[in-house]
Structure 1
Amino acid sequence: MRASISTLSVLAAGASALQIPLFLSEKQAPVEPASDDDYHGEKPQVSSSALQDLISGNKLYARARKLYEIAKLGEDEYNHPTRVIGSAGHDGTLSYIYETILALGHYYDISNQSFPAVSGNVFESRLVLGDEVPKSASPFGLTPPTKNRQPVHGTVIYVENEGCELGDFPASVKNNIAFVKRGKCPFGTKSEHAGIKGAAAVVVYDLGSKDGIGGTLGTPSPKHIATFGIGGEDAKPILKKLKNKEYVDAIAYIDAEVKQIATTNIIAQTTFGDQDNCVMLGAHSDSVAEGPGINDDGSGTLSLLEVASQLTKFNVSNCVRFGWWAGEEEGLLGSDYYVATLPKEENQKIRLFMDYDMMASPNFAYQIYNATNAANPNGSEELRDLYIDWYKEQGLNYTFIPFDGRSDYDGFIRHGIPGGGIATGAEGVKTKEEAERFGGKAGGWYDPCYHQLCDDLSNVNITAWVVNTKLIAHSVATYARSFKGFPKRTESVAAKDYAEGVKYHGSKLFI
């Protein structure tokens, strides 16, 4: 897995072409090759307390400042800082991760895994239904534009049975606006069926949502057409008119692009420790196009970098593998690709996977994914309990959140690898009870700048970030030292109810 000179040269050449600095700090200058004795002989065996003691808020925030400067590389193309895949800001992020790990010498083997990814961007949109502009209207992720990137006019046509079958769409949708309920099948299927029937655009409504649908069409299809989502409050008056056989006209407009690019996962694995028994952890290296992503998921990315750096002071008994995934915000692209391309024997070497996405939300709660061995691969529950025990030992409260497909653990769980993780919250609303347990503001988002331009240096809670990075260090040290009492790997996959219960693929709903 050790990176070849040619691989490094390609990365450096790409960085140079984009005028991306290598971002090496004074203490991260390239090191001279060291002998195996430097790593296997004099270092102490890793311990949780010793590794935790090396974590500090000053070091994490210094890395955050550097990452924000990197995000500014995206300004020329996006007019604001961003680290979205395909941007100079993301290329700079990859260079920073790679160079930081490379500077640690022979402690890690490092590799790049390039893969094709789909990137979508909506530049402008507008939806008018009758004489109203729905407040909750938003284009779906990976939607194509309206025809010729111009407004399209038509009649709103009601679609029966949630649009999961081609026959649900009447012939009258041709050149008109299909109005279809969110339901049992993916949004992409509804859009594709409408496109085959010749509709000009699709509006998917969710009666159970007030604020609309943060959805994605998923894997692009040439049959997809411009697709919006709206919430129940905006949909109800339209439904009432349609059921009364009243005419409702509409104007839909989306200027968007969907393109295929190449991007890269970065994998770093200790060069010693039992290579057939690896503890793996990951974070995603990209942000959304709308902002720099310092909390989402700069915080997880930098926590992993800091733990990886401090781990070099110790010996490990089991190998430790770090993964920085690209394309998470586009639908878990990097982690899905990584797991799907693992040979069976390599899959079995990963004893567990730990996901660390959003470690520093300003209005945080200490959240643990509620994994069970009944619904997830055997060992997931033991990992959950490790987090519980640590928070209890620190005298800290915690809460559970569901495994719902919103982050990079999803592909690992689906491929039979035990998984879990912690988080501090995204756009969810903090309850009064949670405010009493964790502090902060009841009724506000955990991260008030989630997927926005203001996810910058002011959008991290250092207390939460340090606490959770210490917990990451604890999880790494525990399993790097021993898997005693942790279930052996089997070839089982996630239970059927997990797959059927997951409605997200990344941050956006796909069903």
Structure 2
Amino acid sequence: MRPSWALTLSPALLSQVHGLQIPFFGSTTPQAPISNAAKELVSSDALQAHVDAANLLNRAKILYEIAELGFDEYNHPTRVIGSKGHLGTIDYIYSTIAALGDYYSITNQSFPAVTGNVFESRLVLGHAVPESARPMGLTPATSSREPVYGSVVAVANFGCELSDYPSDLEGGIAFISRGQCPFGTKSDLAGKAGAIAAVVYNNEKGDLSGTLGTPTPDHVATWGLSDRDAAPVLEKLHNGEKIDAIAYMDAIVDTISTTNIIAQTTAGDPDNCVMLGAHSDSVAEGPGINDDGSGTLTLLELATALTHYNVNNCVRFAWWAGEEEGLLGSEYYVSVLESSENKKIRLFMDYDMLASPNYAYQVYNATNAANPVGSEQLRDLYVDFYEEHGLNYTFIPFDGRSDYVGFIQNGIPGGGIATGAEGVKTEEEQAMFGGTAGDWYDPCYHQYCDTVDNVDLDAWEWNTKLVAHSIATYARSFDGFPERDLAVNTFATSDWKYYGHSLQI
């Protein structure tokens, strides 16, 4: 039965899909099932042999055309949740897996998701229009979506207690330091204290953008501001000078329904599952071919290749919706798992941004000391692969930036690899990986230009081979991998700086 969210894709797009032998609903007959018992047991070398950069590139071209379905509403290609581009992405994933016959069982998991969009914003502080001012994710609009006027009022400490907000803030614009508590808490308290808008400024070097997270009735229109643009404002306020300000935000925050897709092998021990995931959505600003089209398509390519083999342990693929809105799909998935189902997941592997054009091979530094036991063994599997193939790698913080968060919080070992987002490549990394020191790993991160031209095919192919290696290793055996300990089933991650790709503190 065709899911209610499915789209009818264009004949031109379907013809490309047919050329790749990736059928959609009604386009071809699903492949005839072959008995799993007659297939050879999957091995790392065999699964890696299916990986071809040309196939990944062809899939990327299809995904970009799907993103163009969002053009009418957003005036550019996008796969943000709620858009036709994201509905088309879900359709593409589901159709591809469904066409593989009975090798997988497929689950469509719908859930409510909070989404937001900023159509226009402007912030004037005194006589200055700070270039670094950025609306926070999930910020509400200013009153009546009109400009509001008030004085800038400094908030004491870090603005994490209502007592930090002075009595003269009523009708003013709260000026709050970053630190100690989430941005959403600061915005909420500012609203409770009577502020008409809020600015959170960076107390470290650089610009500041983030998310308010789960909406509250007291959130006010909120911007992030760099330390550079905050400095003259703070100096004037310290000297007792009055600063008049204008704030304008035209934005919406809404709740919609969206869908995770879960595909699990029908063969293999269902009580011992290796699970891996990527997010199917992009940000509103662009088509998201690297972020995270690269992860989405890697999983789709390998899910197709795996059908040639038998497995000892079940393999569960997941395509999450709403990651860009704050890890919504993955966290929902884990939150509704019963304890017995949680235990069946021996580990979770996160694959988000595998093809950045100015890449570094990055491994999440997930240790057993700070995470569920088994996370470090997975980390070492990635390290061993890079070393065995003469490839350099670097460790990056395991700090809440992607869909592993809900799994770690609920006692499931996790980890993953990436190739970098808005971080700046160092001179040392240029020597290790090539590329350009001083530039972002992905110069088109969260932008319109994250297109098919924004992927490095060599990095993508090597990382897809590594994902294949991780699947095959654990689909064959968990020998030597730590057993799950349900006595230790929660891990605190509240001090992580990130909630998905957005800063939260």
TM-score bracket for this pair, using the shorter chain length: over 0.9
Q: What do residues 38-90 of structure 1 show as CA deviations (whole Å, max 9, x unaligned)?
A: 23222111000010011001100000000000000000000000000000000
Closer/same/farther in 2, CA of residues 320 and 84 from structure 1, 3 Å limit: same
Quick one: percent identity of the two aligned structures? 64
In 2, Cα distance between equivalents of 1:261 and 1:479: 36
Residue equivalent to 2:46: 50
Residue equivalent to 2:90: 94
Contact 1:83 1:288 in 2 (8 A): yes
In 2, Cα distance between equivalents of 1:210 and 1:384: 30
In 2, Cα distance between equivalents of 1:279 and 1:291: 32
Q: What do residues 304-324 of structure 1 show as CA deviations (whole Å, max 9, x unaligned)?
A: 000000000000000000000
In 2, Cα distance between equivalents of 1:96 and 1:21: 11
Residue equivalent to 1:452: 447
In 1, Cα distance between equivalents of 2:9 and 2:68: 16
Bigger mean CA deviation after superposition, 456-465 or 200-209:
200-209
Contact 1:405 1:502 in 2 (8 A): yes
- Structure 2 residues not aligned, in runs of 5+: none
Say yes or no: does 1:245 pair with 2:240. yes
Contact 2:289 2:451 in 1 (8 A): yes
Equivalent residue letter for 1:46: V
Partner SS for 1:480:
helix
Contact 1:113 1:264 in 2 (8 A): yes
Partner SS for 2:48:
helix
Residue equivalent to 1:509: 503
Residue equivalent to 2:113: 117
Say yes or no: does 1:208 pair with 2:204. yes
Q: What do residues 104-128 of structure 1 show as CA deviations (whole Å, max 9, x unaligned)?
A: 0000000100000011000111111
Q: What do residues 255-289 of structure 1 show as CA deviations (whole Å, max 9, x unaligned)?
A: 10101100000000000100000000000000000
Residue equivalent to 2:475: 480
Contact 1:326 1:334 in 2 (8 A): yes
In 2, Cα distance between equivalents of 1:9 and 1:325: 17
Equivalent residue letter for 2:238: K
Following superposition, the deviation at residue 31 of structure 1 comes to 3.8
List aligned pairs for 1:195-344, cutoff 5 A.
Answer: 195-211=191-207, 213-344=208-339
Following superposition, the deviation at residue 501 of structure 1 comes to 3.4
Q: What do residues 452-475 of structure 1 show as CA deviations (whole Å, max 9, x unaligned)?
A: 000001000000000000000000
Match of 1:411 among 392, 399, 406: 406
In 1, Cα distance between equivalents of 2:411 and 2:56: 33
Say yes or no: does 1:356 pair with 2:351. yes
Following superposition, the deviation at residue 141 of structure 1 comes to 0.4
In 1, Cα distance between equivalents of 2:121 and 2:201: 17
Closer/same/farther in 2, CA of residues 477 and 17 from structure 1, 3 Å limit: closer
Residue equivalent to 2:125: 129
Contact 2:411 2:491 in 1 (8 A): no
Q: What do residues 165-210 of structure 1 show as CA deviations (whole Å, max 9, x unaligned)?
A: 1121112111111111112111111111111122111011112032
Closer/same/farther in 2, CA of residues 109 and 375 from structure 1, 3 Å limit: same
In 1, Cα distance between equivalents of 2:154 and 2:32: 69
Equivalent residue letter for 1:57: A
Residue equivalent to 2:415: 420
Match of 1:104 among 93, 100, 103: 100
Residue equivalent to 1:157: 153
Partner SS for 1:156:
strand
- Structure 1 residues not aligned, in runs of 5+: none
Closer/same/farther in 2, CA of residues 11 and 235 from structure 1, 3 Å limit: closer
In 2, Cα distance between equivalents of 1:392 and 1:233: 41
Closer/same/farther in 2, CA of residues 50 and 402 from structure 1, 3 Å limit: same
TM superposition score normalised by structure 1: 0.95
Residue equivalent to 1:10: 4
Q: What do residues 214-256 of structure 1 show as CA deviations (whole Å, max 9, x unaligned)?
A: 2111001111110111011111111111111111111111110
Bigger mean CA deviation after superposition, 309-318 or 193-202:
193-202
In 2, Cα distance between equivalents of 1:305 and 1:266: 11
Say yes or no: does 1:385 pair with 2:376. no
Contact 1:20 1:92 in 2 (8 A): no
Following superposition, the deviation at residue 9 of structure 1 comes to 4.4
Q: What do residues 399-432 of structure 1 show as CA deviations (whole Å, max 9, x unaligned)?
A: 0001110100011000100000000000000000
Contact 1:215 1:508 in 2 (8 A): yes
Equivalent residue letter for 1:305: L
Equivalent residue letter for 2:53: G
In 1, Cα distance between equivalents of 2:281 and 2:449: 16
Say yes or no: does 1:82 pair with 2:78. yes
Following superposition, the deviation at residue 19 of structure 1 comes to 11
Contact 1:283 1:323 in 2 (8 A): yes
Equivalent residue letter for 2:250: D
TM superposition score normalised by structure 2: 0.96
List aligned pairs for 1:389-400, cutoff 5 A.
Answer: 389-400=384-395
Contact 1:207 1:236 in 2 (8 A): no
Contact 2:158 2:176 in 1 (8 A): yes
Contact 1:409 1:420 in 2 (8 A): yes
List aligned pairs for 1:135-150, cutoff 5 A.
Answer: 135-150=131-146
Closer/same/farther in 2, CA of residues 204 and 463 from structure 1, 3 Å limit: same
Which aligned segments of 4 or more residues in structure 1 are displaced greater than 3 angstroms? 16-24, 28-35, 493-496
Following superposition, the deviation at residue 493 of structure 1 comes to 3.8
Aligned length: 498
In 2, Cα distance between equivalents of 1:285 and 1:162: 36
Partner SS for 2:502:
coil
In 1, Cα distance between equivalents of 2:118 and 2:478: 47
Following superposition, the deviation at residue 133 of structure 1 comes to 1.2
Q: What do residues 492-511 of structure 1 show as CA deviations (whole Å, max 9, x unaligned)?
A: 24654xx2431111111111
Contact 1:24 1:100 in 2 (8 A): no
